[in-house]
Amino acid sequence: MSNDSAPSRRGFLTGALATGGAVAAARASAQAPDPAITELQPWMQYLGDGVDARPYGSPSRFESHVIRRNVEWLTADPVSSVNFTPLHELDGIITPNGLCFERHHAGIAEVDPSAHRLMINGLVDKPLVFTMQDLMRFPRENRVYFLECAANSGMEWAGAQLNGCQYTHGMIHNVQYTGIPLRLLLEEAGVKTNGKWIMPEGADASAMTRSIPIEKAMDDCLVAFKMNGEALRPEQGYPVRLVVPGWEGNMWIKWLRRIEVGDQPWHHREETSKYTDLLDNGIARRFTWEMDAKSVITSPSPQAPILHSRGPTVLTGVAWSGRGTIPRVDVTLDGGKNWHEARISGPSFDKSMHRFYFEFDWDGTPLLLQSRAHDSTGYVQPTKNALRDVRGENSIYHNNGIQTWLVDERGEAENVEIS
């Protein structure tokens, strides 16, 4: 079935173009009869499944290639590893729950919500323990945020390496969370005047912890239990995770079991040996929490080549900033000689992914595609060389440099670097 469907879909598209008046396409469709039109397809000859055949729906079997994927040589073991969101297959701004990339340090904790507790302790007037039922009695909010691992694009510091935006940029997802403002829970416990930091802790076997300043905790953090309307997936921290808008993914503690309030940061593993950026002079940047503005063209890209020949072509991609919205994205087809303003379509939320498009007439010659995000603070996404000038070559984290795809005459794309 899937073998037949590729050529016949192409046939259908040529047919559609013919009505639009494309001369070459019209000639093609006049030649051979198209079986997608002349043959009765099996799905028209038999009744389909009834309701309830699929009580929890999943995508069409023709979409089975749209999955998270990992890079096996990156990590020694899948329980402490990462896989990547298939950005090249998605559109709009929301990442479907089953495709959100996963980053676990000790595998997926399968938490029974009835046996799960959230404790607030440390420098508070009254230490508290909440059941999931208790949490449901606090006012909730719905907000859309991206989560990007600080190591996203980390493999690309020294030069172009991985062939596809799924691998170069796929440690990101963008989800509508339903959650309780963390401020409300902290106020319930009563933070003492010397309480300046919080340390959220996960209930997985890694018991992941990070230090977060109290100002951020009181500002826009959420204790979230729903993603895109349904319960968090186990991979994403079911039954409850911390949402730390705009800040590096590592701080978004999953399977959240405890929040300690203290008067100084804890200097744990994830903020010393990891998630710090070693500069050329041997000094490391620390507490680099905010994710800088970034963008990537998702199609055309190495996993999403141009399948048609010259003519009308849709370029699309995503852009985001940990400091606000994205009012503007520029794209270039010729490696930066000429820049064009892309069209942003879809909601523009604070600290959320934005979707951009640029429609152009491809003349069939090679392209050097790049996108450049501007955020609402006026910051402009830098070139990779500009980043390396200030951060050196030791870094892994916070690579928000401009990505380049080289598209050849056949429409195939590859990861290259020109600046």
- In whole angstroms, the minimum distance from the beta carbon of 91 to ligand MTE comes to 20
Q: How many residues bind ligand MTE (CB under 6 A)?
A: 21
Contact flag: residue 254 with ligand MTE (CB under 6 A): yes
**Residue 164 or 249 with smaller CB distance to ligand MTE:** 249
147 binds, among Mo ion, ligand MTE, none (CB under 5 to 8 A by kind): ligand MTE
Question: CA-CA distance, 210 to 265, in Å (whole number)?
Answer: 8
Instruction: Report how far residue 122's alpha carbon sits from residue 198's, in angstroms, rounded to the nearest whole number.
Output: 9
By beta-carbon proximity to Mo ion, the closer residue of 149 and 319 is 149
| Three-state secondary structure call for residue 124 | strand
CA distance 292 to 152: 12
Note whether 250 binds ligand MTE by CB under 6 A.
yes
For the segment 130-149, give every residue that binds Mo ion (CB under 5 A).
149
Q: Given the complex with Mo ion, which of 251 and 315 has the nearer CB atom?
A: 251
Q: Min. distance of Cβ 231 from ligand MTE in angstroms?
A: 14
The answer to whether 222 contacts ligand MTE (rule: CB under 6 A) is no
206 binds ligand MTE (CB under 6 A): yes
For the CA atoms of the chain, what is the radius of gyration? Answer: 24
Q: How far is the CB of 123 from Mo ion (least distance, A)?
A: 28
Residue 150 beta carbon to Mo ion: minimum distance, rounded to whole angstroms: 6
Give the C-alpha distances (Å, rounded to integers) separating 141 from 52, 132, 138, 398. 32, 16, 10, 29
Residue 85 binds: one of ligand MTE, Mo ion, none (C-beta under 5 to 8 A by kind): none
* Dihedral Cα 211, 217, 219, 220, nearest 10 deg: 90
Do the Cβ atoms of 270 and 278 come closer than 8 Å?
A: no
CA distance 129 to 79: 29
The C-alpha atoms of residue 299 and residue 297 are separated, in whole angstroms, by 6
Q: What is the nearest approach in angstroms of ligand MTE to the Cβ of residue 109? A: 7
Q: Is 104 exposed, middle or buried (0-12, 13-18, 19+ CB in 10 A)?
A: buried
Interaction pattern, residues 255-294, with ligand MTE; x per rule: CB under 6 A: x---------------------------------------
- b (16+ CB within 10 A) / e for 71-81: beeeeeeeeeb
Is the backbone of residue 110 left (phi > 0), alpha (psi -120 to 50) or beta?
beta
- 84 vs 356, beta carbon nearer ligand MTE: 84
Which residue in 123, 160, 185, 208 binds ligand MTE (CB under 6 A)? 208
Question: Interface with Mo ion includes 162 (CB under 5 A)?
Answer: no
Helix, coil or strand: residue 45: helix
Determine the size of the site formed for Mo ion (CB under 5 A).
4
Taking the least distance from each CB to Mo ion, the nearer of 152 and 352 is 152
Q: Is 198 in the site for ligand MTE (CB under 6 A)?
A: no
> What is the identity of the amino acid at 317?
G
197 binds ligand MTE, rule: CB under 6 A: no
> What whole-number distance in Å separates Cα of residue 182 and Cα of residue 256?
12
Rounded alpha-carbon distances, angstroms, from residue 97 to 173, 235, 305, 348, 380: 9, 10, 25, 20, 30
User: CB under 6 A: which stretch of 54-62, 134-142, 253-261, 370-378 binds ligand MTE?
Assistant: 253-261
Q: For residues 133-192, which are near ligand MTE according to CB under 6 A?
A: 147, 149, 173
Residue 353 lies near ligand MTE (rule: CB under 6 A): no
- Quote the crossing angle between the two packed helices 2-20 and 23-31, to the nearest 10°: 130
250 sits near Mo ion (criterion: CB under 5 A): yes
> Which position has the token pair 């055949």?
53
Residue 316 lies near ligand MTE (rule: CB under 6 A) = no
CA–CA separation, 226 and 188 (whole Å): 22
Restricting to residues 365-404, name those near ligand MTE by CB under 6 A. Answer: none
Cβ proximity of 310 and 284 under 8 Å: no
Tokens of 242: 């911390």
Taking CB under 6 A as the criterion, the residue among 29, 68, 88, 101 binding ligand MTE is: 101
> Closer CB to ligand MTE, residue 14 or residue 250?
250
Q: Is 105 in the site for ligand MTE (CB under 6 A)?
A: yes
Position 103 contacts ligand MTE (CB under 6 A)? yes
For Mo ion, the binding residues (CB under 5 A) are: 103, 149, 249-250
Q: Which residues bind ligand MTE (CB under 6 A)?
A: 100-105, 147, 149, 173, 202, 204, 206, 208, 235-236, 249-250, 252-255
